[in-house]
Chains A and B, each alone.
Chain A
Amino acid sequence: MSSDAMAIRNVEVGSLPLVETLHGWLTTVDHKRLGILYILSALLFLAIGGVEALIIRIQLMRSHNDFVSPEVFNRMFTMHGTTMIFFVAMPILFGFANYLVPLMIGARDMAFPRLNAFSFWLSFLGGLLLYFSFLGGSGLYGAGNAPDVGWWAYAPLGARAFSPGHSSDYWTFALLVSGFGSIGTAINIIATVLCMRCPGMKLSRMPLLVWLNLVMAGMVLIAITPLSAAQIMLVIDRYLGGHFFDTQAGGSAVLWMHFFWIFGHPEVYVLVIPAFAFLSEIIPVFSRKPIFGYPVMVAATVAIGLVSTSVWAHHMFTIGMNSYANSFFAITTMAVGVPTGIKIFNWIGTMWGGRIQFKVPMLFCIGFLFQFLIAGLTGIIQAAVPFDWQLSLSYFVVAHFHYVIVGGILFALFGAFYYWYPKMTGRMLSERLGKWHFWLFLIGFHLTFDVMHVPGLLGMPRRIYTYEPGRGWDTLNLIISIGAFIQAIAILVFVANLIISYFKGAKAGNDPWDAWTLEWSTSSPPPAYNFATVPVVASRRPLWDLKHPEDPDNQYE
């Protein structure tokens, strides 16, 4: 991919033979290539996870449907959730972080390039291991099958007694393996950001994307590890006769829930904070103004990171905690909405008074703003604990978190794709196809996930392979399923765009968007060594200073 773009002029480099190119990619320690590998593997799992979602939606199109058996359905939602969180969202965000962080801080690579490669391959191996379960996870009924305990694997459902065979073990080990990869990446990001910034780039001059990925990495260290610990305990229970979650021996199913959600809640902030990072880079450029309130944005993110470690039991409001515990988690959950809201206001403040350009990256970011607003509010709604006693475990929650992950994170990711694809490949993505992608996906998204709130309000629980007619859920589910297919078509348009533009897209040049951070100062794609000379910066927007020497940023901040 990048073998034919060099910053050193007048040197002709012919294409290498295929085997050597592949070998280069397989053994690379270059953060840019690893970033692209993360992204490509995530896109592969996105397609698989998407198919699983479509199977779910076809089955639920009408009551008492028999498209798939209950056993298959239960595997589908387990695999869909596990795949999307661990093998799509986390890798793709790590991929963008890997690619962009060194470039944005003027470094030549990450602090530990080989650890970087190791972490990627661990993550990819985890995904393969999870899917191998379809072949090798011998259950009671013979041939292999995938885990079917839900992506939370609640105790005691994950115990040997209720989950015979090895399907749950594939879930456990796939996540243990990729979890170690995630910890490696997190350590790498922290070390890189703290130790490898170019001269002049004080912490207060880093692009927000770098700040936010730093916070994300810190959270990964303390969020993923509780899950790893709980999974080790589960393995001890399943294979060494342990009783951590064995309720017959006095063990506690609730303990698993606490451990899982101590991981699970910070995990979703690990996912959304990099999405915030994309917005914080893209919105300023397409509003032609700097980000409004940079220090507040940093402080708010740190606050979100800290407070989010204290909200986990809001996933457990129905398990029978006492009223004081319920009240505590209610207020912490509502409290975390405050810094999050501040960020939304700051993005609006960035657009305010600007000259907004509605290029495709910005369209996706505007979509994010509307949708994340709604997602955040449905979160606050659920923080009202008694209301959550109705809403929890229903399709209202499913609608809420898909609103965050698809309407929020995925939209931000699409924005990031359109924004940085030119830097990574040297070619622009097609604006026309991009607009088709955006509008189709927007319509499909809203059709599915706006409507999905309603069955929850009408009493439809989640994780059911079929439902009774006459409860008012039928038509709604049909609409939801139609929206899913529209989203699938939009994704196909997106993939087509990625492929076609790679060969036929307009040449991008260094800086197609007239942006201000360091990655736009080098060629597209950057050479292996990133910068011909290590940059020296004097403000938060070094390229703004270069383009506007009469009005440099460091006069004002």
Chain B
Amino acid sequence: MAGLIIAESAIFTIFVVAYLFYVGKSLTGPTPQEVLEAPIFFTICLLSSSLTIHFAGKSLERGKHGAFLILWSLTILLGGLFLYGTGREWRRLIYERGLTISTNLFGTTYYSLVGLHAFHVTAGLFMLSMVLIFGLAGRVGADQFRRVDVLALYWHFVDTVWVVVFTVVYIVGR
């Protein structure tokens, strides 16, 4: 998983570099200042899901299956909320502010970077859901906590990437 994270970090780095390189270079509007609203609530959701998954792993290690399942479901819920938030923001940007991926450089780099991250969140949620199903079927024992931790590492990575993306898009880029 560490290897995969290194590789994925390199991919994200390239998209971040492209984003930063093109800040302020769009030939036409809209600009980030005009249309972006920082998704604070949904960010908190996503970052909290790192906490819940961490405690879920700890619960599993200690054999508390009930707590594990609840915290794991909470993680998925929070991740799903984040995706919903992203979708809502995109809807607003596209239909109310007229910003699409082909509008200008900002549009291209914004949707690509945030989209790439959202794709990884989606893939993560898919894997988390599979584990939830296994867990509900009683097949995730306390001895599997290391494997669950590997997946949690991926999830932490996805959250860390969001911290970077958020900083680049909503703070630096504006």
Q: Which residues of A contact B (CB under 8 A)?
A: 183, 186-187, 190-191, 218, 221-222, 224-226, 228-230, 232-233, 236-237, 240-244, 249-252, 255, 259, 262
Distance A498 CA – B101 CA, assembled complex (angstroms)? 53
A222 touches B10 (CB 8 A): yes
A242 touches B102 (CB 8 A): yes
**What is the 8 Å Cβ interface bit string for chain B, positions 14-45, against chain A (1 contact, 0 not)?**
11001001100111000000000000000000
Distance A224 CA – B4 CA, assembled complex (angstroms)? 12
**Nearest opposing residue in chain B for A186, CB measure:** B3
Residues of chain A within 8 A (CB-CB) of B130 are none
**Nearest opposing residue in chain B for A236, CB measure:** B112
Residues of chain A within 8 A (CB-CB) of B7 are 183, 186-187, 221-222, 224-225
Q: Which residues of B contact A (CB under 8 A)?
A: 3-4, 6-8, 10-11, 13-15, 18, 21-22, 25-27, 100-102, 104-105, 107-109, 112, 116
Residues of chain B within 8 A (CB-CB) of A218 are 6
Task: Report if A243-B105 is in contact (Cβ < 8 Å); known contacts: A233-B18, A250-B25, A255-B21.
Answer: yes
Partner of A249, one of B3, B18, B104, B112: B104
A240 touches B101 (CB 8 A): yes
B21 touches A190 (CB 8 A): no
Residues of chain B within 8 A (CB-CB) of A191 are 3
Partner of B14, one of A190, A221, A259: A259
A244 touches B25 (CB 8 A): no
A251 touches B6 (CB 8 A): no
Q: List 11 A-B contacts (CB under 8 A).
A: A190-B3, A226-B13, A229-B11, A230-B14, A233-B18, A236-B108, A240-B102, A242-B102, A243-B104, A252-B21, A259-B18
Distance A486 CA – B105 CA, assembled complex (angstroms)? 51
B105 touches A251 (CB 8 A): yes
Distance A403 CA – B4 CA, assembled complex (angstroms)? 34
Residues of chain A within 8 A (CB-CB) of B22 are 250-252
Distance A200 CA – B50 CA, assembled complex (angstroms)? 39
Task: Report if A244-B11 is in contact (Cβ < 8 Å); known contacts: A186-B3, A190-B3, A250-B25.
Answer: no
Q: Shortest distance in angstroms between A101's beta carbon and chain B's nearest beta carbon?
A: 15
B4 touches A236 (CB 8 A): no
Task: Report if A244-B18 is in contact (Cβ < 8 Å); known contacts: A187-B4, A225-B11.
Answer: yes
Q: Shortest distance in angstroms between A509's beta carbon and chain B's nearest beta carbon?
A: 37
A242 touches B101 (CB 8 A): yes
Residues of chain A within 8 A (CB-CB) of B26 are 249-250
A225 touches B102 (CB 8 A): no
Among all A-B residue pairs, the 5 with the closest Cβ atoms? A241-B102, A229-B14, A187-B3, A225-B10, A242-B108
Distance A187 CA – B4 CA, assembled complex (angstroms)? 7
B104 touches A225 (CB 8 A): no
B3 touches A236 (CB 8 A): no
Q: Shortest distance in angstroms between B82's beta carbon and chain A's nearest beta carbon?
A: 22
